[in-house]
Structure formats: C-alpha cells, structure tokens
Amino acid sequence: MITIENHQKSSFIEQKITILQLVEGLYEEQNYQGNQRIISLIFSELNLTTEQNFNL
C-alpha cells in the first residue's frame, strides 16, 4: 500500500510518501521525504525520489 500526502505545517506544505509493507500480518511503515529515493520491494526498478514524484 502506498499513500501520498501533503501536510500543511505553519506556512509550508510537507510532502511525504508512506509505503506500508505487510510483514507477518502487521504493516511496517516507511516514510520518504524530499530527495530520499523511494525503495519498494515490488517495484525494485523504481528510481524516483519523493520530490520527483510530486513534480510529475
């Protein structure tokens, strides 16, 4: 499961991507922001950063 969020904090918007991975019946959360490369086990060839995703 992938969620894409815009959160407004004070006078700026925080952009982050959260990837949830189901591990032994529980979801583990991975958060990505800014220039962090998004890592996905399903889409291992994906070569995008959070910032690039929001600028598409």
- HEC string for the chain: CEEEEEEEECCEEEEEEEEEEEECCEEEEEEEECCCECCCCCCCCCCCEHHHHHCC
Q: What is the percent of the chain with per-residue pLDDT over 90, rounded to a whole number? A: 23
| Choice between 43 and 31, residue whose per-residue pLDDT is larger | 31
**pTM exceeds 0.85:** no
| Spans of all domains in the chain | 2-54
Most confident of the following: 10-14, 17-21, 23-27, 48-52: 23-27
